[in-house]
Structure 1
Amino acid sequence: MLDGGLALLSAAECALEGARFAERASLPALVGVAFGLLAGSALVLRRRRPVAVVLVSIAITPAGMGFLMGIVGLYTLAASEASRRVIAALAGMSLLGTLIVTFVRTRQDVATADFDPGSWYVPVVSVVMSIGLTAPPLLLGLYVGARRRLMESLRERAISLEQELSLLADRAEQRAQWARTEERTRIAREMHDVVAHRVSLMVVHAAALQAVALKDPQKAARNAALVGDMGRQALTELREMLGVLRSGEEVVARATAEPVPLAAVGAAAAAAAEAAEAAEAAEVVEVVEGAVAGAAVAGEGPSLADLGSLVEQSRLAGMAVELSVQGEPRAYRPDVEQTAFRVVQEALTNVHKHAPGARAWVRVAHRAAEVAMQVENGPSLRGAADAGLPSGGNGLVGMRERVSALGGVFVSGPTDGGGFRMSAVLPTGSPTESPAVLPTESPAGSQAGSQAESPAG
């Protein structure tokens, strides 16, 4: 509607000026009016063809027509996406044409006037009028075009930031889901480590208690006391673990539920995407390791110093276990101590479950940059039968996860002698040293099973 209205005004102006031009040129007035209507109506194409509109206005300028078309055409051209060279060239042509026409008409008017304004009057008036008809629409169009491009750039940036915010929100949801999954896995692993060993020993002692209850009441009483002690130990460890998990839940809740200001997220997305990703990765590590690190810093949980008690409990349950230690024992990081203890504990639990009556050997080697554990058992004295204890099949998986999380190596497999061997090597953070193979002074079958043992070394 705006373009149509401007085209009607331009056509009316050009038709009026065309009639005057036809009169001066001794042409029929109808020819001038028709030419003016046709030329003035070209302004309707100003948005699609701004260059053509400006050229038409320049072409009809000598006839004294198209002043409105020239003003609107220059404004539209300057505000369009045309190149600066084209805009400058057409603006110069329009200025020159307007200057010439204004100079001629002003000179004619001065010649017919009754007074003489001086020689300076015609050039000054011509220059002022030509600049006044050309510069304002040109400058206004340049300003509007620049502002339009700025707004478009801001709109595109807002859309880009919105997409970045959406991606960051999706990534945050993925990180939260991953943290929850890791937390569930850790809880399951801790429950398995704490409960499985104690309960397995309690079941073994309960079976022995049932067997000797009538024959040897004193031995039955001792077994009953052992069952009670193990139950209390299991409850104590469960309480400690639940306390750690509660503190871990607070860490996860803070990391996954704290609201993030949109302005901060937008700034990070626009200015420092790589830094934001690095911060997100660090936050994920903090969330997943927070609860476990809390227990480690507090010094809670078992350690390598408790291996003697662990082995003694298995001996009291009827297992023949030998413990050998190489190197000088020393204190390690709490997470290394706990992982080493849990590996030996799970290995002995598996012997109770799947090889009742078998002889077992526990070896620990303290080295300069690592600590190595190996638990090996011979064939079960009861053949293929086990102790009838349930197994979820997650023991070896949990041990491998624990060892791999600390950058260690875990290897397990059967021996040629019909037994089973589990080996683990944990780095301790000391200066690196070429790892050596675990000691192999084992019963029959250990030499044949050295291939399964060497990767752990």
Structure 2
Amino acid sequence: MPSVMAAQYGEDRRIADSGGPTLAGNAVERPPGGRVNGVPTDRVSSAARGWVERYRQWAFDVAAVAIAALDVWLRVVPEAETYNYVLSAVAVVAVALRRRFPFLVVLVTAPGFLAGWAQLAAMIALGTLARRRLLSTQTFIGAGLVWFSRFFTWPPSEFVELDWKTHVHNAIYGCLVAGMPIAIGLLAHAREELSARIAELAVSRERERMLHAHAVRADERARLAREMHDVVSHQVSLIAMQAGALRMAAEDPNARRVAGTIRTLSTRTLDELRQLVSVLRTTNGNDSPQPRVEDLPQLVATAGFPISLAVHGEVASLPAPVSGAVYRTVQEALTNVRKHAAGAPTGVLVVVDRDELRAEIRNDPPHHRQETGTLPGGGHGLMGLRERAALLNGDFAAAPTEDGGYLVRVTFPVTRSLDT
């Protein structure tokens, strides 16, 4: 008997596994690589999958009706009354409608079980009701009807003649006959829900994997863009500045032409770098070696215009992220001086107290502007410096001065940066 019931309710579990309707009639998104009727789902259209599901439901409905009819045919008694045949036949036919009207089909099959031979028909209907409605009031009513149909012996005259032991025996078997379909229906429901959750988990994991891959690529692109702007842009802008000065000072036409070509290429490179750096700028740390405050003298010496550098305090023991951020801030500020102030005299001051580091880069207004044109800029430099300061719990400020110059100031809490 359990194998027969499992065959009836297994259809719904297989429908769920093949991507069919799930609880509350909602379709579950199937993970990549699923299969329908042995064919990958990515090769089966939605209409084809729906046709396969309908075909399976129709096939299992036919099988359920056939099994219920066979059960009646094997148990029929020749000397029975006409209503016994009618009630049994109605119960068998009603099994085909159990999906659409589960509770009504239980009500129709119960008389065929009570006064006929449609036991399997009633059990199949009760199992479908339990799978669709779970432990609802309708399920308990259906279970009571099936139990009573097994406990009560028809006609009533025969029921009265039975002794109490037979009644107890029939009551126990009635619990089994009514309980087994409910257990199988609940098991089918749990299996269907589990399949839906597994499918959702697979889709969620695939989505999470894709998002993680995108995040990793975005982080690498942002880090690369930062280094391109901080290092490459600094060097190329210096080349462009020197080439422009050479073009103005050279007397040889060939030398002036070559210097102009170098400056044109450098300017074009800076413009392309500006476009490449227009990505989300963020970082979670930097594992590559970074310059420190101790490297500022070398940076100042190669700047190409008058710079005064003053460093006060112990800088050798600064945390690497803070020291590198100060270097990058000075580097970017000097690059902006080349671009926008034509090499105006600039002062760099770095002061380290016990728990704070302050760096200031102040340039004077240019006394004359060289005829070297304007280098392109996208505004990403100061934005990157502000992001670096925020990541280290620091403060960044940049604004023109009253005398026409420009001041860049950044402060870092050294103690808090060490704990970061």
Q: Would you call these one fold, judging by a TM-score over 0.5?
A: yes
**Is 1:42 paired with 2:90?**
yes
| Structural mapping, 1:399-410, within 5 Å | 399-410=385-396
Q: CA deviation at 1:126?
A: 5.8
**Number of residue pairs matched by the alignment:** 313
Q: CA deviation at 1:167?
A: 2.4
Structure 1 residues 302 and 10: CA distance shift in structure 2, 3 A: closer
> Which residue pairs with 1:302 in the alignment?
291
Q: CA deviation at 1:431?
A: 9.0
> Which residue pairs with 2:375 in the alignment?
390
Q: Which has the higher contact order (CA 8 A, sep 6+)?
A: 2
Q: CA deviation at 1:429?
A: 2.9
CA contact (8 A) 2:307 2:348 kept: yes
Aligned-partner residue type, residue 181 of structure 2: G
Distance, in Å, in 1 between the alignment partners of 2:291 and 2:345 is 24
Distance, in Å, in 2 between the alignment partners of 1:358 and 1:71 is 98
TM-score where L is the length of structure 2: 0.61
Distance, in Å, in 1 between the alignment partners of 2:219 and 2:377 is 23
Match of 2:356 among 367, 370, 373: 370
> Which residue pairs with 1:98 in the alignment?
153
Match of 1:53 among 108, 125, 128: 108
Distance, in Å, in 2 between the alignment partners of 1:198 and 1:348 is 10
Larger Rg: 1
Match of 1:381 among 344, 367, 374: 367
Distance, in Å, in 1 between the alignment partners of 2:306 and 2:389 is 26
> Which residue pairs with 1:72 in the alignment?
121
Distance, in Å, in 1 between the alignment partners of 2:317 and 2:359 is 15
- State the secondary structure of the residue aligned to 1:98: coil
**Is 1:157 paired with 2:151?**
no
CA deviations over 1:148-196 (Å, ceiling 9, x no partner): 1222122122222123123213322431342243133133224335524
| Structural mapping, 1:25-36, within 5 Å | 33=82, 35-36=83-84
Distance, in Å, in 2 between the alignment partners of 1:8 and 1:328 is 96
Q: CA deviation at 1:92?
A: 4.4
Q: Tell me, which stretches of 5 or more residues in structure 2 are unaligned?
A: 1-61, 253-281
> Which residue pairs with 1:172 in the alignment?
212
Aligned-partner residue type, residue 36 of structure 1: N
| Same amino acid, percent of matched pairs | 22
Q: CA deviation at 1:12?
A: 9.9
- State the secondary structure of the residue aligned to 2:393: coil
Structure 1 residues 306 and 204: CA distance shift in structure 2, 3 A: farther
Distance, in Å, in 2 between the alignment partners of 1:312 and 1:204 is 20
- State the secondary structure of the residue aligned to 1:371: strand
| Structural mapping, 1:167-316, within 5 Å | 167-192=207-232, 195-196=235-236, 199=239, 202-203=242-243, 206=246, 210=250, 289=284, 292-295=286-289, 301-314=290-303
**Is 1:89 paired with 2:75?**
no
CA deviations over 1:372-430 (Å, ceiling 9, x no partner): 111112221214x4644734344434433433333322222222212222222233235
Q: CA deviation at 1:358?
A: 2.7
- State the secondary structure of the residue aligned to 1:185: helix
> Which residue pairs with 2:318 in the alignment?
332
Q: Tell me, which stretches of 5 or more residues in structure 1 are unaligned?
A: 20-32, 108-121, 214-284, 296-300, 433-457
Structure 1 residues 406 and 193: CA distance shift in structure 2, 3 A: farther
CA contact (8 A) 2:72 2:88 kept: yes
- State the secondary structure of the residue aligned to 1:373: strand
